[in-house]
Structure 1
Amino acid sequence: MVTLLALSFMISLFFVAYGRRTARLLGRAHDLHAVQSMHTRPTPRVGGIAIFGAFGLSVIFAPASISQSYALFSMSAALLFAAGLLEDLGFHVSPRNRLLAAAGASLLVVLLLGVWLPRAGIPGLDAVLGYWPIGIPFTLLLTAGIANAFNMIDGVNGLASMTAIVTAVAMSLIADKAGYHAMVHLALMLAGGVFGFFLLNYPFGKIFLGDAGAYTLGFVLSWFGIAILLEAPTASPWAILLVLFWPVADMLLAIYRRSRRKADAMAPDRLHVHQMVMRALEICALGRNRRRIANPLTTLVLTPFVIAPPVVGVVFWNNTINSFAAVVGFGIVFFASYVAAPALIRRFRINAENATPIQKTVAKWHKRETAGDRKAGGF
C-alpha cells in the first residue's frame, strides 16, 4: 500500500512540475468555460495516469490465489482508462462513447472471468440474475453507470478521490468482516494509490483526476462490490449500495433533473450538489472572487455526508433490511436537501439593502446565476 501511494504521488508530482509545459496535458482550452467547470486556470488533467499506474502495479502485490483473474480484470479496465485518457488529452470522446467504453470493459470482464452481479437484494430480480440474458445486461448497466457517476462528482478539488478512498476502505472493512481477505488487500491498495494523488489534488488542485481517473475508479470499485457479493454470500447488496451512495445518488438526481427538463441525459449542467454548495458558499459568505477558497471548502463541507452512508453500510454489512432502510432514509434526506437548497440560499444570501459595495456585486452575480438556472430549466 505504501509503495503504491508513493508511486501515485511521484507520478502526480511529475505532471504538476512539467504538465504546464505541454499544452496537450492541460486538455482543451475551452474546458475552463464549459457549463460544468468549477475551475479558473489551466491545470494538468492527467491524474488518472497516476491512479491507473498504481492500480496496474497492484497486480504484482495481489494475493497469489487471485493474481491471474485480477490481472485479466486490470487488462479489461485499461480499455475504459484509454477512452478517458484520450478525452483528457484533448481528443474529443463523447460522453456516450465513454459510457460505451465502460460497458465494453465490463463485458470483457464477464467474458474473461465468467462472472456478473449475482444478486441485488430485490425479491424476484435475484431469482433471474443468474440467467445471463438478464444478469449480464444488468451488470453492464450497473457498472457503466457507477463509472459515469464518479465522473459526475469530479467537479471540485478532492471530492471524487476522497469518495473513492472512503468507498475502498469501507469495502475492505466489509470484506474483512465477511472473511474475504483477498479483497481487503485489493481495496486497501486502491485506497493507497488514490491517496497519493489526493495529496496533490487537495486542497489547491495542483492536478486533476480527469475522465480517465474518475471513470477508472468508478469501474474498479463497482466490480470490487460485485466481487464481494460473489465471494461473501452473507454480505448485503444494499450495504454495498450504501458504500457507493454519494456518486449513485448524485447520478440518479441528475437523470431525474434532466428528464424533467427534457434535456439530454448525458448533457452537462451546473446543478450537481457540489456545484450548488460551492455557489452557496460564494453567494452567502465568501464572494465570487474567492473560488480558490470555496472550491476546497466545498469538499470539506460535504465530507461528513459522503462518509456517513458507507459507515452505516459497514455496520449493517450483512443486514439487508436495515441496509435497505438506511438507503431509503439517506435518499430522502439527500433529495429533500437538494430541493430545499435554493430557498435556503435566497434566505441567507447577502441582504442587498444593507450591503457593502462588494456585497452588492455578489448579490447581482447571484441574480444572474439564478436567472440562468431558471432559463436552463433548473429548479
Structure 2
Amino acid sequence: MFNHAIPPSNLHEYALTSLSFGLCVGIVFVCSRLPWLSGRTCDLSAVQSMHTRPTPRVGGIAVFGALGLFSIFGLGPISGTYSAFVLVTSLLFFVGLAEDFGFHMSPRRRMLAAISSSLLTIWLFGVWLPRTGIPVLDPLMEYSAVGIPLTILVTAGISNSFNLIDGVNGLASLTAIVAALALSQIAEISGYSTMVHLPMFVAAGVFGFFLINYPFGLIFLGDAGAYTIGFVLSWFGIALLVNAPDVSPWAILLTFFWPAADTSLAVYRRLRRNADVSAPDRLHVHQIIMRGLEICVLGQNRRQIANPLTTLVLAPFVITPPIAGVLLWNQNWNAFLAVLAFGLLLFVGYAAAPSLIRRFRR
C-alpha cells in the first residue's frame, strides 16, 4: 500500500490548496441561492451546537473534491493505488454528506460506513495494523482474527474522533493539518519517501478549507469532511507502520492525540453516567473552554469571538503532542510515556476546569 515513490513538487500542494479554497468560496457564494447548502435551522438548537447562524456545512466537498480530482495528476506509479483508496473512502464520504444535506444518518450508520470502508481497504490492499507497540499483543497482530478488528477499531475511531472535535471554527482542520505534517515528517525521518508527500496533499487540501473556515466560520467541514479526513490520515498512519518498521505506534498515536483523547473522555463520561456513548453533549473540551471564555473573560453573547478564540487557546495543546511524536518516532517506550503524560495532563485539566470557571467568573 503506497510503496512507490512520488515525483516531488511543491506545485502539488499549491494546486490542492487553491482548488480546495476555490471550491469553498464557490460553495459560500452559491449558498444564498441554494438554501439547503446553508445548513438546517434545527442544527442551531442541537445540544452540541456552538454557532449562532445557519452556515454551509458541506466543506467536506471541497476537501474530498480536491483530493479526488488530484488523483489524476502527478502521482506517478501510485496513481492507481491512490485512486482506488479514494474510491473506497468515497463510501464514508457520501454517507457523511447525506447527513450534511439533511438526510438523517444515525451515528450507528456513519460508524457502519467507516467500518465498511476499512474492511474494503483491508480487502483491496491486503494490509492491516501491523503492530501496537504492546509487546504481549504484537506477536498476535499477524493473525487476521486479531489484526483486522483492531485495525477497524483504530480507523473507525479516529474517523469519528475528528467529527467530535469539529465544534468550533478551525479546530478540526488545524488538528488535521498538524497531524498530516507530523506524519509527513516521521515518514521523511524513517525513509518512507511516499508518505512524505501524501499527508502533505491532505494538509494542503485542508488548508484551503481552513482559510475560509477560520476565524469567521463561513463554512464548516460537516460530517463528510471530518470523517473523511480522520479516515484518510489514520490509514496513512497504518501505511507508515507497515512500510517503516522502526516507527513506534505510540508516536503515530501522538500525531492524533487531541481527537483520540477528547473522544476517550467523551466515552468515559457517558459510560460513567450510563448514557448512550453516541449521544451528543456539551462537555467536550472545546465546549468547556468556549463557555469558560464567555463566563470569565468576554461576557455573555460574545460567541462570535469566543468561538475562534477557543481554537487559538487550544492550539498549543493540539500542536505539542504531534511534535513529541516526531521527536520520539522510533522510541516506543518514551512515546508511550509521552501519551500517558499528555493524557494525565488533559484529564487533570478537564476535571479542574469547572472549579476554575466558577472561581474566576466575572
Which of 248, 262, 272 pairs up with 1:236?
A: 248
- The letter for the 2-side match of 1:305 is F
Is 1:156 matched up with 2:186?
A: no
Which residue does the alignment assign to 1:260? 272
User: 1:215-254 maps to which residues of 2 (within 5 A)?
Assistant: 215-254=227-266
Which of 59, 64, 78 pairs up with 1:52?
A: 64
Which of 16, 19, 26 pairs up with 2:28?
A: 16
Indicate the SS of the match to 1:37. coil
Which of 338, 346, 350 pairs up with 1:334?
A: 346
Which residue does the alignment assign to 1:85? 97
Which 4+ residue blocks in structure 1 deviate beyond 4 angstroms? Answer: none
Which residue does the alignment assign to 2:318? 306
Which residue does the alignment assign to 2:179? 167
Is 1:122 matched up with 2:128?
A: no
Which residue does the alignment assign to 1:273? 285
**d(CA) in 2 for partners of 1:152, 1:62:** 34
TM-score by length of 1: 0.91
Which of 190, 194, 210 pairs up with 2:202?
A: 190
Q: Does the 8 A contact of 1:63 with 1:182 survive in 2?
A: no
Unaligned runs of 5+ in 1: 351-379
**d(CA) in 2 for partners of 1:230, 1:58:** 24
Indicate the SS of the match to 1:55. helix
Is 1:288 matched up with 2:304?
A: no
Deviation of 1:21 (Å) = 2.4
Q: Summarize deviations over 1:37-89 as a string: whole Å, max 9, x none.
A: 00010000110000001111232346433222221111110000000000000
User: 1:137-148 maps to which residues of 2 (within 5 A)?
Assistant: 137-148=149-160
- The letter for the 2-side match of 1:40 is T
284-293 or 17-26, larger mean C-alpha shift: 17-26
Of structures 1 and 2, the one scoring higher in RCO (CA 8 A, sep 6+) is 2
49-58 or 157-166, larger mean C-alpha shift: 49-58
Q: CA RMSD in A?
A: 0.9
**d(CA) in 1 for partners of 2:147, 2:120:** 15
**d(CA) in 1 for partners of 2:67, 2:273:** 39
Q: Summarize deviations over 1:204-238 as a string: whole Å, max 9, x none.
A: 00001100000000000100100000010011100
- The letter for the 1-side match of 2:184 is S
Number of residues paired by the alignment? 350
Q: Does the 8 A contact of 1:58 with 1:186 survive in 2?
A: no
- The letter for the 2-side match of 1:69 is T
68-77 or 217-226, larger mean C-alpha shift: 68-77
User: Highest CA radius of gyration, 1 or 2?
Assistant: 1
Which residue does the alignment assign to 1:27? 39
- The letter for the 1-side match of 2:23 is I
Q: What fraction of aligned residue pairs are identical, expressed as a percent? A: 63
Q: Does the 8 A contact of 1:4 with 1:57 survive in 2?
A: no
TM-score by length of 2: 0.95
Deviation of 1:14 (Å) = 0.5
